[in-house]
Amino acid sequence: MATAEKAYYVGTDMNCGGACLLKVHVKDGVITRLETDDGDEPQLRNCLRCRAYRQRVYAPDRLLYPLKRVGERGEGKFKRISWDEALETVASQYKRVKETYGPAATIYLTTGGDIGQVHNTRTAVRVFCLAGGCTLMWGVASNEGWMFACQATYGYPTGNDHRDLPNSKLAILWGMNPAVIIDGCGTAYHLALAREKGTKFIVVDPRYTDTAALVADRWIPIRPGTDAAAMIAMAYVMITEDLYDKAFIKKYTVGFDKFKEYVLGKEDGVPKTPKWAEAITGVPTQDIVELAREYATTKPAALLPSKAPGRTAFGEQYHRAAFTLAAMTGNIGKIGGSAGSEITQRGEIPFAMGPAMKTGGNPVDAGSPLRRDALPTPISKGPGLVARLHNSEVWNAILEGKVGGYYSDYKMVYVANANYLNQYPNVNKAVKALKSLEFIAVQEQFMTPTAKFADIILPTCTFLERNDAVWGAGPHVAYQPKVIEPLGESRSHLAICEGLAKKLGISGYNDKTDEEWLEQIMKPCVSDFERFKETGVKKFYQPPTIPFKKEIEDIENNPFPTPSGRIEIFSQQMADMNNPLMPPIPKYIESWESRNDPLAKKYPIQLLSTHPKRRSHSQFDNIPWLRELEPQAIMLNTKDAKARGVRDGDLVRVFNERGEVTIQARVTERIIPGVADLPEGAWYQPDKNGVDHGGCANVLTVDRRSPGGAFTNNSCLVQVEKA
Amino acid sequence: MQIGFYFDQTRCTGCYTCVVACKDWHDVPAGPASWRRVLTIEEGKFPDVFVAWLATSCYHCAQPACVAACPAGAITKRKRDGIVLVDQAKCLGKDKCDLCLQSCPYGAPQFGAEKNAKMQMCNLCFDRLKEGKKPICVAGCPMRALDAGPIDELRAQYGDKTEAVAFTYSTDLKPSVIFKPKLRKSLVGGKR
C-alpha cells in the first residue's frame, strides 16, 4: 500500500566540518528528493555535495553485500558471501595474526568519513581493544601541525567563530578557502556578510581562490612552504617600526625577547627583513611592509591562517609564527580579533558531545614506551606513544616493520570510514604495502581504490540508514534519523562491530541500540528528546565564541594551560627536545622539495593538493551530478603552460620519482607561476603501467611527516609535460 | 503579474549548489540538460585578476523569443504569473527542431542525451511557488545570492539593475531578472 510522502530533517556528516541540514523526502521507503534547512536563520544550508546525496545513496556502485576477493589485490574482482562468513573470516584472521605476531601486528586505519556520535571509528576500536589490542595511528592529515603549534603556544587548540567576522575591521585570509572547503556550515556566507558590513579582506595565497574572488580587496600571491618567512618579516617590520603591542606581550607572553633576537638577526647574523623574505616567498618587499603595517595598526584585525600552509615540511613554524603575530598586535581574546588560528570554532555546546562509546583502552598503547619529541595533547595521547604510527608513514611501517625500526611487524589492516590508499601520501608505496599484507578487511560504502585491495569487504550503510546525531558551527546539534532501511545487506557501523565482537567471543561489547545511545548523549542538552527528534535540530543562539577570552580578561585566575601559564612564544618544552628542526621559537626552516631543492632541476613545479570543489576529500568522486560540473584537472599558470606547449584542456603528464598522473590541464592566471594545483580526492585509476588516470594527487606526494607531526603534502615537486 | 529572478553576483562563489539542487528536485539526470547553470568568468593577468560567476536559467522573458519561434505551439507563457512553460507532448524533439534554442540568447532551452529529446527548462518551480515556497535554487543557495518573486516586488527590494558580468539585457525580449552586478576592481592597488 502506498504511503504519503514524509519529510525528515537530517544533519549531515561528510568529512567537511559542515554538519548542515538536509530535509529528506521519503515515500514508500524510498528517498524522493531533497531540500535544505527551511527553518529560522541562521539556516544550515547544504552545499552541492549533500544536495547530490540521493544519487550517493542509490549509486549503482554502492556496496550492498559482503564480498570476498577472488582476483588479485587491487584488481576489483569479488564474490558475494554471507555476513556470517565475512565476519568469521575477519575474526579468525585477527586471532591468527595476534597469536602469531602479537596484537600490534593488526593496524586499524580510519579517518573522518561518515562519522556521527554513535556510529564512528570508536565502535571498531573498542572491538579490537577488547579483543587484545591493535596498532592505532596518530597525525591528523588536516591539521596536526596546527594542533602541535597550539599545544606548544597556547596549551590547547582553538580558533575563531565565523559569526565574529563582521566585527573585524581587517581580515587576513592566509591560505583559507571556505567557499570550497565549507569548514563550518555557512563560513563563506559569514565572510560575505562581513565584507558587506565593511571588513577589509587581504588574501595571502598561491591561488586566487573562489573565496578570494568573493571577498578579496587585495591578493598577495606567495610561494608554497614559505609562509613562515613572510610572517617573520612582518614581525621584523613591527619591531623595527615600533608597531607592536608591548603591553600585551609583557602581560600575556613569555620568550618574546628570544624571538626578537632571531628576527633582528642577533642569533644567526641574518636580519629577517622584508627583502630577505622577498627572495624566499616571492612577495615584494613593499607588500610585506604594507601588510605588516596594516595588520599592526588596524584594530581589531583577524589574522586567519588556514591549515593548508601548515601541511608542509616544518608547517608547525607557520602556525607558531601566526600566533606570535596575533600576540604582537594584541588581537588575541578580543572581539573582532583572532588568535592567529583559522575558523574552527563550533560554538560552546553546553554539554560534552563526543563519540559515545568508550574504547576500553588499547593494550598495545598501554604497553608502549613514550616518545620524547611529542607534546602531551588533550586531544589524543597518540603522538606520545612509540607504538602509534603516524598516518603518513604507515606504508613504510608495513613494508619495513621491526627491521626498519618500527614498533612491530605489521600483517593485517582493518580499514573503516576511509579511502586510505587514496588519501594518504605516496599511493604507489601504498599499493606495495597493501600487497605485502597477510589480510585486509575494509568497511566501506563504495568500491573505492582502497576497497579493491580488500580480502573481505563489509558493506556499510549511509547516515540516512541509521540513527545518529552531529554537531556543527551554527552552533547547533542535528539529529540523524534513520529515514530508510539500510540498502541491500549493508549494515551500520555499530551493527557491523557488534557482529565482529560476537565472532571474537567478546561479551559486554554493547548493551544499547543506537537510539538509546543517542538519548543518553543528547539528554544534557536537549530537554525534550522526542521534540528534538521531530524538529531534527537545535540551534544555540549565543554570541560568537572568542578564543582565549577568559585567559585575556583575567590571566591571573585563568592562566593558559602551558608550563608558564602564558602564551609561549618561547617554549621550554620544545627547547628540551633539543631538535633544531623543532626550535623553541618560531623560525623559518626551508622545507624539503622547495624550489631551491636540487631536485627542482628535474622537477621544477611545486605541487599543491587543495580541497576539491565537488568532493568532500574522496567522498562523492563517483557521483554523476557532481562529476559533470567540472573535470578533475591540474591548475597551471599560463606562463608554465606556455613554456610546455600546453593549452587549456590538454592532457598532461604530471610526475616525479614517486609516480605519474595523466590528467587535463586547466590553464589560468589564478595561480602563482612555478606552482600547480591538483585537487586531492580523485579516485586512483592506474593503467597497466601504474600511471594514474584519475588524477589522484597522492600518487605524487611525500610520505614523510614534519617533525611536529604535520602532513607535508604541499611540499611536493613535480614536472609537468604535455601528454 | 510577472515572476522573475534576482541574482546578487557579488555573493556568488560558483559553488553549483543551485544546479545540483535543481537537478535533484526536478529529477533531471546527469547529462547535457541542466535547467540552471553557472558560468565562470576569468579576466586579467596574474596577479591582477578578476573572477565572477553568473548563475543563469530561463529568465521567463516578458516577450519570450522561444514562444514565437516554436512551430508546434509547445511553449506558452502563463498569463497569471508570466512563467514560460513547455508542453513536451507537443514538442517536436531535438532531432527535428531546435528553433527555441536558436532563438534564446540565454541558452535556456535544454535537451537530454536521449534520442529526439524533448525540450525542458526552468519552470520557476511553480509547484513550490503555489505552496508559498521559493524555487529550490533560491531556497538552497548557501550564499543567499538568489531570490525570486513578482518582479515589481524584487525591483522595490533590490533596485532595477539589469546588467551583470557576462549578461546582456535584451530590450526586445525583456528577461524577468534583476542583478546586483560584480564590479571590476584592481587587486594590486596600481603599485606593480
Tell me the three cell numbers of residue A364: 598495545
In 3D space, the residue among A215, A191, A218, A196 whose CA is nearest the CA of residue A294 turns out to be A218
Helix (H, G, I), strand (E, B) or coil at A652: strand
Tell me the three cell numbers of residue A224: 608554497
Query: Minimal Cα distance from A43: which residue of B?
Result: B142
**CA atoms in the 13 A half-sphere facing the CB of A411:** 15
Segment A327-348, tens digit of pLDDT:
999 999 999 999 999 887 666 6
Q: State the DSSP code for B183.
A: P
Q: Is the ipTM of this complex over 0.95?
A: yes
Q: How far apart are CA A308 and CA A713, in angstroms?
A: 9
Q: How far apart are CA A343 and CA A167, in angstroms?
A: 14
> Which pLDDT value is given to residue A382?
64
Do residue B143 and residue A188 have CB atoms under 8 angstroms apart?
Answer: yes
Do residue A192 and residue B143 have CB atoms under 8 angstroms apart?
Answer: yes
Interface of A with B in 182-201 (CB under 8 A): 186, 188-189, 192
Contact A419, A698 (CB under 8 A): no
Size of interface A-B (CB pairs under 8 A): 117
The neighbour count for residue B150, using CB atoms within 10 Å, is 15
> Which pLDDT value is given to residue A346?
65
| Owner of C-alpha cell 545487506 | A489
Q: How far is A218 from chain B (nearest CA, A)?
A: 5
| Owner of C-alpha cell 580578561 | A553
Q: How far is A207 from chain B (nearest CA, A)?
A: 10
> Which pLDDT value is given to residue B171?
97
* Minimal Cβ distance to A48: which of B20, B30, B136: B20
Contact A44, A189 (CB under 8 A): no
In 3D space, the residue among A37, A63, A586 whose CA is nearest the CA of residue B141 turns out to be A37
Q: How far apart are CA A494 and CA A473, in angstroms?
A: 26
Q: How far apart are CA A412 and CA A408, in angstroms?
A: 12
CA B159 to chain centre: 19
Q: How far apart are CA A532 and CA A542, in angstroms?
A: 19
Tell me the three cell numbers of residue A65: 553485500
β-strand partners of A79: A68
B56 to A114, A577, B105, B133: CA distances (angstroms): 33, 58, 12, 20
Q: How far is B71 from chain A (nearest CA, A)?
A: 32
Q: State the DSSP code for A412.
A: E
Q: Does A407 touch chain B (CB under 8 A)?
A: no
Do residue B15 and residue A613 have CB atoms under 8 angstroms apart?
Answer: yes
Q: Does A286 touch chain B (CB under 8 A)?
A: yes
Query: Minimal Cα distance from B50: which residue of A?
Result: A213
Residue type, position A676, single letter = A
Q: Which parts of chain A sit beneath pLDDT 50? A: none
In 3D space, the residue among A172, A177, A199, A197 whose CA is nearest the CA of residue A187 turns out to be A177
Tell me the three cell numbers of residue A687: 593503467
Tell me the three cell numbers of residue A20: 548542515
Q: How far apart are CA A131 and CA A53, in angstroms?
A: 36
Q: Does A620 touch chain B (CB under 8 A)?
A: no
Contact A519, A468 (CB under 8 A): no
Q: How many helices (H) and strands (E) does chain B have?
A: 6, 7
Do residue B47 and residue A625 have CB atoms under 8 angstroms apart?
Answer: no
Q: Which chain A residues contact residue B139 at CB under 8 A?
A: 35-36, 38
**Which strands, in side-by-side order, build the sheet including A468-472?**
A468-472, A476-480, A537-539
Do residue B21 and residue A36 have CB atoms under 8 angstroms apart?
Answer: yes
> Which pLDDT value is given to residue A628?
98
> Which pLDDT value is given to residue A18?
86
Query: Which backbone phi and psi does B73 adopt, to 5 degrees?
Result: 65, 30
In 3D space, the residue among A127, A120, A106 whose CA is nearest the CA of residue A394 turns out to be A106
Q: How far apart are CA B2 and CA B153, in angstroms?
A: 10
H/E stretch holding A152 reads: helix A144-153
Q: How far apart are CA A104 and CA A611, in angstroms?
A: 33
Segment B128-142, tens digit of pLDDT:
999 999 999 999 999
Do residue A192 and residue B191 have CB atoms under 8 angstroms apart?
Answer: no
Do residue B17 and residue A672 have CB atoms under 8 angstroms apart?
Answer: no
- Give the β-pairing of A456-459 and A439-444: parallel
Q: How far apart are CA A692 and CA A682, in angstroms?
A: 10
Contact A52, B27 (CB under 8 A): no
- Please give the full DSSP string across A456-513, using - where no structure is assigned: EEEEB--GGGS-EEEEETTTEEEEE---SPPSTT-B-HHHHHHHHHHHTT-SSS--S-
> Which pLDDT value is given to residue B190?
46
Query: Minimal Cα distance from B40: which residue of A?
Result: A210
Tell me the three cell numbers of residue A36: 535544505
Tell me the three cell numbers of residue A445: 560504502
Handedness of CA A569, A571, A574, A575 (dihedral sign): positive
Residue from B9, B15, B158 to probe the interface with A (highest A Cβ count within 10 Å): B15
Strand residue runs (E) in A502-631: 537-539, 567-568, 605-608
In 3D space, the residue among A243, A234, A227, A241 whose CA is nearest the CA of residue A289 turns out to be A234
Question: At CB < 8 A and 24+ separation, what contacts does A502-507 make?
Answer: A502/A87, A503/A87, A503/A88, A503/A90, A503/A91, A503/A92, A504/A91, A504/A94, A504/A95, A504/A127, A504/A130, A504/A131, A506/A127, A506/A130, A506/A131
Contact B173, B106 (CB under 8 A): no
Q: How far apart are CA A40 and CA A193, in angstroms?
A: 17
Contact A625, B30 (CB under 8 A): yes
> Which pLDDT value is given to residue A351?
53
Helix (H, G, I), strand (E, B) or coil at B181: coil
In 3D space, the residue among A200, A216, A204, A266 whose CA is nearest the CA of residue A236 turns out to be A266
Query: Which backbone phi and psi does A210 adopt, to 5 degrees?
Result: -65, -30
Q: How far is A185 from chain B (nearest CA, A)?
A: 9
Q: How far apart are CA B184 and CA B10, in angstroms?
A: 11
Residue type, position A592, single letter = W
Tell me the three cell numbers of residue A127: 572491538
In 3D space, the residue among A368, A448, A361 whose CA is nearest the CA of residue A133 turns out to be A361
Confidence of residue B56 (pLDDT cuts 50, 70, 90): very high
Do residue A34 and residue B15 have CB atoms under 8 angstroms apart?
Answer: no
**Which strands, in side-by-side order, build the sheet including A30-36?**
A6-11, A21-27, A30-36
Helix (H, G, I), strand (E, B) or coil at A161: coil
* Minimal Cβ distance to A51: which of B17, B30, B187: B17
**Share above pLDDT 90 across residues of chain B, in percent, rounded to a whole number:** 96
H/E stretch holding A669 reads: none
> Which pLDDT value is given to residue A535?
87
Q: Specify burial of residue B163 (Cβ count, 10 A radius: 0-12, 13-18, 19+).
A: exposed
Write out the residues of chain B at the interface with chain A, using a CB-CB cutoff of 8 A.
10-11, 13-17, 19-21, 23-25, 27, 29-31, 42, 44-47, 49, 51-52, 133, 136, 139-144, 187-189, 191-192
Q: Does A216 touch chain B (CB under 8 A)?
A: yes
Q: Which chain B residues contact residue A638 at CB under 8 A?
A: 46
Q: Does A673 touch chain B (CB under 8 A)?
A: yes
Helix axes A315-328, A227-240, angle to 10 degrees: 30
> Which pLDDT value is given to residue A638?
98
| Owner of C-alpha cell 608558564 | A564
| Owner of C-alpha cell 576539491 | A612
Tell me the three cell numbers of residue B23: 537537478
pTM: 0.97
Residue from A40, A45, A182, A209 to probe the interface with B (highest B Cβ count within 10 Å): A45
Q: How far apart are CA A238 and CA A232, in angstroms?
A: 10
The rounded radius of gyration (Å) of the Cα atoms in chain B is: 17
H/E stretch holding A86 reads: helix A83-101
